[in-house]
Amino acid sequence: MPLALYGHPFSSYTQKALIALYEAGTAFEFRMIGPDTPEHVGEWMRRWPMGSFPLLVDGDQTVAETSIIIEHLQIAHPGPRQLIPIDAAAALEVRFLDRFLDLYVMERVQFAVGASLGRYGAMTAAEGLEMARERLEKAYGWLEVRLAGRAWAAGEDFTLADCAAGTALFYADWTHPIGPGYPTLRAYRERLLRRASFARAIEEARPYRGLFPLGAPDQD
Ligand SMILES: N[C@@H](CCC(=O)N[C@@H](CS)C(=O)NCC(=O)O)C(=O)O
């Protein structure tokens, strides 16, 4: 069976995995999860009842969680770039930044989206957005300092952390604009948008922008 990725082009985490696949130039089959492809939805749910996506299928292995998917790709299908450094200390910084971007940036965006969809009981969309904005502001401040002097998240090389950063900062800026007080972070986001792997994922997702519940801004 060829390598297959179940996901949706507009999903931030699907894009994170796609960036890694495009960086490596790995051949794979994209299996869209959506109303028009119930066979993919059925197979994805059977393999991963947790219901999150993307999901990678590699032969007889089912691999969930994007950070693990990218670690798996690095081991089983390495490309020309080392997305996780061999040096253990350098790898720790990459993995830490990957966690930071997922948990303190992307998760805040998902929270605001969840509130706008009425997922948190009595919490209104405006309250959810306000809460997410406060937390994103803190994350922006922290990243502004951490990224100083770096071309990519963890230094000179494009890594797993940049796969996470691309989509997290893309949607975070839509949710709570990264203000002029964060020039390093803004410049980094711009570099990510120009990176061929992410630029491709952005274009593939463009037709679905209407799905963004907070309203996609006229940018990017
Ligand atoms: N920690 C997971 C997060 C994946 C995630 O939240 N994916 C979203 C789509 S972007 C999702 O599955 N949403 C549906 C749900 O959680 O029910 C990962 O890294 O793969």
- Tens of pLDDT, residues 96-129: 999 999 999 999 999 999 999 999 999 999 999 9
Q: Please give the Cα distance from 118 to 39 (Å, whole number).
A: 29
Using CA atoms, how far residue 100 sits from 23, 103, 142, 154, in Å, is 21, 5, 10, 12
Q: Is the distance from the beta carbon of residue 65 to the nearest atom of ligand 1 less than 6 Å? A: yes
Contact 52, 64 (CB under 8 A): yes
Question: In testing the pocket of ligand 1, which one of 5, 6, 8, 13 has its CB within 8 Å of the most ligand atoms?
Answer: 13
68 C-beta closer than 6 A to ligand 1: no
The pLDDT value given to residue 71: 98
Q: Is the C-alpha dihedral spanning 135, 14, 203, 113 positive or negative?
A: negative
C-alpha distance across the termini of the chain, in Å: 36
Ligand 1, atom 20, residue with closest C-alpha: 65
Q: How many angstroms is it from 14 CA to the middle of ligand 1?
A: 8
Q: What is the mean pLDDT of residues 186-193?
A: 98
Q: Give residue 2's pLDDT.
A: 81
Query: For ligand 1, what atom is nearest to the CA of residue 65?
Result: 20
pLDDT above 90 covers what percent of the chain?
99
The string of pLDDT tens digits covering residues 31-81 is 999 999 999 999 999 999 999 999 999 999 999 999 999 999 999 999 999
Instruction: Kindly report the protein residue whose alpha carbon is nearest to atom 12 of ligand 1.
Output: 52
Residue corresponding to tokens 């985490």 = 13
Q: 158 and 24 in contact (C-beta within 8 Å)?
A: no
pLDDT of residue 1: 58
What is the atom index within ligand 1 of the atom nearest the CA of 11? 10
Q: Output the residue whose Cα is nearest ligand 1's atom 2.
A: 65
